[in-house]
């Protein structure tokens, strides 16, 4: 029994298709985030109606260089989740520099659902 079969037992077909789309997008996003040291911290799937995926990606804010991320955004312009994560990193880095925080850890808390959401936590 494949992942699609397992998920479809608990969800309607439309919800299952959306969940699979989110998982495909997330898989691509992880690959991009790993290139500058971010790793998956948590991963939670809620199979209600509507379904939701909650996850986190953690790394160092010192590894975020907007001049390198902006070309990545252009390269992945058709991948909304990747672009949204990269934008969140750039904005968070700018705030971190402006406030002159001494903290260097960063966790992005990502909710794939309706509506999607990205929260940044500097620690």
pLDDT in tens, 70-111: 999 999 999 999 999 999 999 999 999 999 999 999 999 999
Tens digits of residue pLDDT in 34-74 = 999 999 999 999 888 788 999 999 999 999 999 999 999 99
Give the CA distances from residue 103 to residues 36, 60, 76, 106, 123, in Å, rounded to whole numbers and listed in that order. Answer: 18, 9, 29, 9, 5
Element (H, E) at 53: strand 52-60
Confidence of residue 4 (pLDDT cuts 50, 70, 90): low
> What is the distance between the terminal CA atoms of the chain, rounded to a whole angstrom?
41
Q: Is it the case that residue 10 has pLDDT exceeding 80?
A: no
Q: Is it the case that residue 1 has pLDDT exceeding 60?
A: no
């Amino acid at each position: 029994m494949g992942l699609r079969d397992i998920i479809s037992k608990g969800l309607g077909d439309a919800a299952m298709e959306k969940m699979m789309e989110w998982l495909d997008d997330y898989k691509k996003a992880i690959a991009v985030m790993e290139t500058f040291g971010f790793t998956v911290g948590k991963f939670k799937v809620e199979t209600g109606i509507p379904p939701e995926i909650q996850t986190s990606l953690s790394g160092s804010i010192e590894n975020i260089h907007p001049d390198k991320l902006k070309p990545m955004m252009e390269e992945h312009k058709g991948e909304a989740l990747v672009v949204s994560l990269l934008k969140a990193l750039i904005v968070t880095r700018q705030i971190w520099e402006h406030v002159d925080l001494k903290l260097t850890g960063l966790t992005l808390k990502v909710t794939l659902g309706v509506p999607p959401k990205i929260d940044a936590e500097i620690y």
